[in-house]
Structure 1
């Protein structure tokens, strides 16, 4: 599915599934098109629409959403003008579902507070964040 169709369907919560790399792709595309701050808002809205439509609104996780945007946008800014496939090929660490555990302890990341609001990492700071 091309990027425009993918983002349109995501924003409407109209995807039958949403794998890890789909999440990274959404963040990457929104960051390239609208910048980091807008990518947070657009990703948040799309994930809430998607989890709501799939009947699992409790799966939305604010800290994961914001942290993934911060990680991906820091690299995307350093490598402008690339498509998602080239970006992932050159940044294979983003294929790791557990990448946030390099920055957060499991206790913090999977705690109730982190699900409801953005919580700063407790192991090391996210790149590109002043």
Structure 2
């Protein structure tokens, strides 16, 4: 999917649930963060994940702690992480100068695993009903942002 096509497919729930991967979540989240404030992007992501889950009959899909964690992490990474490894020896330019598709691909390649969650949360905490229903701060490593 191209970025806007993916966002549209997610928002209209026309993408099959099996194709809405973790990488697709990241791409949509980055798109929302580019066009909204972090608070607006988070709220929109919440609404759209819940609507997507309801449309596809996946009642237990939404997880509040994971949604907040990833939106905070992606906002931080998109604003601060030098996503272009080819420029390590050249002067850095603002990350926003890179096209969104390029930043998205580079961020997914670097941050698209579950390792960030595992670094901050124990399995018991992240699997809890409390974490699914409301924000639970990390129990392993605090978030510095």
RMSD, aligned α-carbons: 1.8
TM normalised by structure 2 equals 0.79
- Point out the more displaced range, 75-84 or 99-108: 75-84
Tell me if structure 2 keeps the 8 A contact 1:11–1:45: no
Residues 15, 50 of structure 1: 8 Å contact kept: no
* Rg (Cα) greater in structure: 2
Secondary structure of 1:96's counterpart equals coil
Runs of 4+ with >6 A deviation: none
C-alpha contact (below 8 Å) 1:62/1:115 kept by paired residues: yes
Point out where structure 2 has 5 or more consecutive residues left out of the alignment: 81-94
Q: 5+ unaligned residues in a row in structure 1: which ranges?
A: none
CA gap 1:127/1:33 in 2 versus in 1, 3 angstroms:
farther
- SS in structure 2 at match of 1:7: helix
Q: Aligned to 1:53, which of 27, 45, 55? A: 55
Q: Which residue in the other structure is 2:90 paired with?
A: none
Note the C-alpha offset of 1:126: 2.0
Counterpart secondary structure, 1:58: coil
Residues 119 and 90 of structure 1: CA distance in aligned 2, closer, same or farther (over 3 Å): closer
Whether the aligned pair in 2 keeps the contact of 1:63 and 1:114 (CA below 8 Å) is yes
Q: CA deviation at 1:29?
A: 0.8
Q: Deviations over 1:70-113 (max 9, x none)?
A: 00000112222332333442663312134211111111111110
**CA 103–47 in structure 1, closer or farther in 2 if over 3 Å, else same:** same
Residues 63-102 of structure 1: pairs in structure 2 closer than 5 A: 63-78=65-80, 79-82=95-98, 83-89=100-106, 92-102=109-119
TM-score (norm 1): 0.87
User: How many residues are treated as equivalent by the alignment?
Assistant: 128
Match of 1:34 in 2: 36
